[in-house]
Structure formats: C-alpha cells, structure tokens
Chain A
Amino acid sequence: MILQKVKYYTREALHNLWQFKTRHFFSLTIIGLSFVIIGVFLSLSNNLRFRAGELSKNLTVVFYLHKNVTASERGLIEDEVRRSPLVGAVRAVGPEEASDKFVKDFPELKDILLNLNGSPFPASIEASLKDPGLSTEKILQFIAEVRKNASVEDVQFNRDWADKIRSLGRLAEAVGLFLGGILVLASFFIISNVIKLNVLARKSEIEILRFVGATNTFIRIPFFLEGVMLGVAGSVLSLLIVFILIKIFPFYLGSSLGALKEIVGFRYLTPAQALALVFGGGSVGFLGGLSSLARFLRI
C-alpha cells in the first residue's frame, strides 16, 4: 500500500514537472545559478586554503641582503642562520638566480628585466625551518636576532603569507555565502511561487481528490516532492557547472597571471561540500513547497 502511494507521489511530481516544463526550466536555471555562486566561491576558498596549507607545511624565512653586501658578510649571516636550532636547511640565493626564478614565474615580463643592466633583485638567504608547528613567537625572536645584522635589509616570513591567504580564503567563502545566500533566498521564493502556480493549475484535481477521500498528506506530498526535486536538480546542475568552470578556467587564464595563477584558481569541492549543496537545494525546495502549501493549499 505504501509502495503504491510512493509510486503515485513520484509519478505525479514528475508528471507535474514535465507538464509545466517551461516554468520549471526557468526556475531550475535560477536555482542552479544561485548555487553556482556559492560553489564558485567555495572552490576559490578551497584553493586558497590549500595553498595556505602547502605554505605552512614548509615554513621558510627569507633574509634579503643589502645590494653591496660582501661575500664574507654574506657568509657570516649564513653561518649565524645555520647555527640556529630552529633551522633545518639554509640556501643562499644570488641576484642572478633570483632573476632567473622571476623570469620562470613571469615569462611575459622577461623583456623588462633584459632592459635593465644586471639583476635588480637582492641576494637572499632562505632558511627552511625544521618544525612546521613552531610557535610564531619563537620564529619572530629568531628573525629579530638575525635582523640585528646591518647587512640584512628585509625579511619575508611565509607564515605571514599563509595567514593572509587563509584570511582571503575565509573572505571568499563569506562573500560566496552572502551572495549565494541572497540568491538562494530568491530561489526559495521562486520555488514557492512555482508551486503556488502548480497548485492553482491543479485546483480541480485537488477538489476531486478531496471528494474521494484523499488525506491532506496525500494531496500535499506530490507538491513537496516537486519542490525538493527542483531544489536538488538545481544544486546538482550547479555542481556540474562548477566542475566545468574548474576545468575551463585554467585555459581561459592562460599564463598571463604567472605564479599568481596558483592562487587565483579553483579547487574541486570536497564531497562534504557537494553533499551540503545538494542537501541545501533539497531543503530550499522543501521549504519553498511548505511555504506555498501553507498559504495556498489549506485543505
């Protein structure tokens, strides 16, 4: 008996979706696009968090030296850095090597470098820290010690970068949820109104069902299902669009952004995020149906 009813509900919901396909196609597109906004920002945030994680795994402090530093002064600083118990490996990077790295990362800007006489980059000493879990305080203490040396002009510590990138990731997520949230709210009203139209279109059928002894639940379930199906289909559509975007975006960007491409990129949504989007779609559909039926199908 229950199986027969489930079959009936599903068939009725699918039949209604097909019967008013133009209306449903437009609402599906809007629901899909709303979830695409969330999906895109989540994927951007995923990438930023991933990059921040990669940076944190390999903590590096770079000491930039004055341009006119002598080889012996450089050797002294290198020794001082190496002596620190926090440091695992030390690498000295000369101005030419820095220049080569820049050309590799930003090939479009190669000509600018060629027009300059010699490398504009200072020599540096890169210190890879032993333990990625070291406290920032200890590291800053170590940096301050080395910085006392007059030959050190500037210091770059990649944990700062990692933190900044992580913040950017959080910001992207928040922007996505905010914009997506507004659009999802719009989707809710769209579903609610589409179901209201469907209820009105099936007024005579609902009346007959009441006269032959249908329960409220029996009459309402197909409409709920319609809402849920629309919501789920919209969110699945959005996942598909996000997947295609992630595939296409690198081709669109080409190599114009150089090393920045790594940061301004997308990463696939995690299974939990994808499931949450689909669940969100279903919930929006269910609530849209609920709000519509509560107002327009009082039996």
Chain B
Amino acid sequence: MIELYHVWKQYQKPHWALADVTLSVKKGEFCFITGQSGSGKTTLLKTIYREVIPTEGQIIIGGKNILRIPDHKIYSIRRHMGIVFQDFRLLFHKRVFDNVTIALRVLGAAPRDMKRKAFIALRMVNLHHKIWDYPSQLSYGEQQRVAIARAVVNNPRILLADEPTGNLDPALAHEIFGLFREINKQGTTVVICSHDKELIRRFGGRVLSLHEGKLHGKDSR
C-alpha cells in the first residue's frame, strides 16, 4: 500500500531530515513511526501525503509513484487518505458537521449522503450528539475525535496521524489510540507518528523507529 525507496530529504545543508529511508507498509497494517523530536517523523509522513517532495527517492502509494503526479492532480491521491494532525486543524467558525463533511463537499456529495456519512463517522467517535456544535464548545479530546471523524468520513484507504495525542492527557490519548485500532480493524491502513512509547507498547502493531532521519528496527513487532 505504501512503499518508500531510498528516500532522502534535506531542508538545509548539511543536515538530512530523512536519510535513505526504505520501507513498505502493507494494506490493512497498523504501523507506528516513533522517534524523538526532530528525528524526521513528520517529514516522513509529509512525504507520504506529498506535502513535502523528497530530495531523492521514490514513493509508491497504491501502486502509483506519487512523485510523478503533477501538483494539480495530487488531489486524486489525497482523496484516498485521511490525515489527523496534532493541532487538530478544525475550522472554528464552522459547526462539527461542516468540519466533518468538508472532505465530502470537495466531491460534491449530496446533502443527504453527507448527513448520513457524517453521522456514521461521528457515531464511531461517539460525538454524534454534538453534530451541530461548534468546535470551541468541545473539549480537546472531543476536538481531536472530530478531526478523526473528518479523516475517516470518506472511508479512506490510508489514515495518517501526526502526533495525534501530543496535546492530550494519557487517558484521552489511550481512547484516541483505541479509535485508531477500531478504524484499522475495518481494513484501513493506519500509520501513526508518535513518541509515546508506552502507548505504542500497549497497542502493539508494527513499530518503525527514526533517529536523525534514519530508519531503525524495520520490523520490531
């Protein structure tokens, strides 16, 4: 599902954010990328959703080399991905419903379809009763659950999460990881960047460790 071949990324000389990273994540896999701050976790994730173009290397997603796709066509890849950020990135002037359905709007989904899918996604994160609230009326944990609902509302093949529990307390973090596990059980490939080793240990799955841009422990299950 996700294949990276000899990926290098340099923002500034002489430091390499990613150094010869080669990895493969299979369809339906639950995978953690761990490492200290500045180890290249976020850069690695950004190269997968092509927010960052590697200096060298190839990235194959679902059999397509995403580096060969022109900028104006990259949406076709992103429509099959859900992305969850540490800072949630919700639109605070829009209701929970509008935040969740934004991924459906870009496809021109019908209102009835949007309502149905938003309800299903929000019920999965147990927030269906807050569909008409504004994000500012929700707690941090709830806001992150809305962000997860937004990421999965379109049934993506891949779910990428960048430090999704970085701003949450341990109990909420546990709950959020549990949600990712549930999503993975439904067949979605999940890749989570996290430095919380305790949680990673508790939830299991494949762990890839980054250190100064280099990948270690390619399969430390």
Q: Which residues of A contact B (CB under 8 A)?
A: 1-2, 4-5, 8, 19, 204-205, 207-216, 218, 299
Contact status of A213 and B89, CB under 8 A, knowing A2-B108, A218-B106: no
Question: Contacting A4 at CB < 8 Å: which of B72, B91, B109?
Answer: B109
Which residues of chain A are within 8 angstroms of B81 by Cβ–Cβ distance? 213
Q: In whole angstroms, how far apart are the Cα atoms of A218 and B72 in the complex?
A: 11
Q: In whole angstroms, how far apart are the Cα atoms of A212 and B121 in the complex?
A: 15
Contact status of A8 and B105, CB under 8 A, knowing A204-B89, A204-B91, A208-B89: yes
Q: In whole angstroms, how far apart are the Cα atoms of A4 and B114 in the complex?
A: 11
**A4 and B110 within 8 A (CB):** yes
- Residue B79 interfacial (CB < 8 Å): yes
B87 vs chain A, min Cβ distance (A): 10
Q: Which residues of B contact A (CB under 8 A)?
A: 49, 51, 71-72, 75-79, 81, 83, 89, 91, 93, 102-103, 105-111, 150, 154
**A210 and B78 within 8 A (CB):** yes
**B91 and A213 within 8 A (CB):** no
Q: In whole angstroms, how far apart are the Cα atoms of A4 and B93 in the complex?
A: 21
Q: In whole angstroms, how far apart are the Cα atoms of A213 and B91 in the complex?
A: 16
Which residues of chain B are within 8 angstroms of A205 by Cβ–Cβ distance? 91
Question: Contacting B106 at CB < 8 Å: which of A2, A204, A207, A214?
Answer: A214
Contact status of A299 and B76, CB under 8 A, knowing A4-B109, A208-B89, A208-B91: no
24 sampled A-B residue pairs with Cβ under 8 A: A1-B108, A1-B110, A2-B108, A4-B109, A4-B111, A19-B93, A204-B91, A207-B89, A208-B89, A209-B102, A209-B106, A210-B78, A211-B49, A211-B83, A211-B89, A212-B79, A212-B103, A213-B76, A213-B78, A213-B79, A213-B103, A214-B106, A216-B72, A299-B71
Q: In whole angstroms, how far apart are the Cα atoms of A53 and B51 in the complex?
A: 67
Q: Which single residue of chain A is at the shortest CB-CB distance from B114?
A: A4
Closest 5 A/B residue pairs (Cβ): A213-B79, A1-B108, A212-B103, A213-B78, A214-B106
**A215 and B78 within 8 A (CB):** no
Which residues of chain B are within 8 angstroms of A204 by Cβ–Cβ distance? 89, 91
Q: In whole angstroms, how far apart are the Cα atoms of A205 and B99 in the complex?
A: 10
A299 vs chain B, min Cβ distance (A): 7
